[in-house]
Amino acid sequence: MAQKPFILNVYDISWWHFLGIGVHHSGVEVHGTEYAYGGSGTYEIVPRDSENLGRQFKFKESLHIGFTDFTDEDVKSIVGSISSDYRGDKYHLINRNCNHFCNDLSNVLCGRKIPSWLSKEWLTPVTLEHSLEASISHDEANDI
């Protein structure tokens, strides 16, 4: 069986980009279909079709992540099975978004993670809380 390229398509979200914050939407392209996740759940689109996503999305780049041995039918079945974990009502801008979906799908289909710069873990409240605690502890230690 021939291996097929596993591509990650990345889009800028213009209203975040305008604010100087690099927030991105991503979708996984395999067998000529792009799979993604958003507030309506998982969905399929024509690869790199930012117009279908909406005016605020602008195609940025395609990243070759690896290869997959799964057939088109296998991929559709796998996406269908993980879609229950990625329902629209479970979407969260920071904690459960398109990049998490793409990372999980990438792990299953080609055994690789998506680039870490797409996951803005520093935006999560827990990480922010730890950063603030460390900063306060550092400031208090300097006051002694």
Mean pLDDT of 111-126: 69
Q: Which residues are catalytic?
A: 25, 98
Residue 7, pLDDT score: 96
* Contact (Cβ atoms closer than 8 angstroms) between residue 106 and residue 8: yes
Q: Is 79 exposed, middle or buried (0-12, 13-18, 19+ CB in 10 A)?
A: buried
pTM flag (> 0.75): yes
**25 — pLDDT class (breaks 50, 70, 90):** confident
Mean pLDDT of 96-106: 94
Q: Among 58-62, 95-99, 100-104, which range has the highest average pLDDT?
A: 100-104
What is the spatial distance between Cα 86 and Cα 78, in angstroms, rounded to a whole number? 12
Mean pLDDT of 35-45: 94
Residue spans per domain, the chain:
4-118
* Contact (Cβ atoms closer than 8 angstroms) between residue 27 and residue 102: yes
What is the spatial distance between Cα 13 and Cα 129, in angstroms, rounded to a whole number? 26
3-state secondary structure of 48: coil
Residue 63, pLDDT score: 96
**What one-character DSSP code corresponds to residue 31?**
T
* Contact (Cβ atoms closer than 8 angstroms) between residue 83 and residue 75: no
Per-residue b/e over 28-40, b at no fewer than 16 CB within 10 Å? bbbbebbbbbbee
Please identify, in words, the CATH class of the domain defined by 4-118.
alpha beta
Mean pLDDT of 70-99: 93
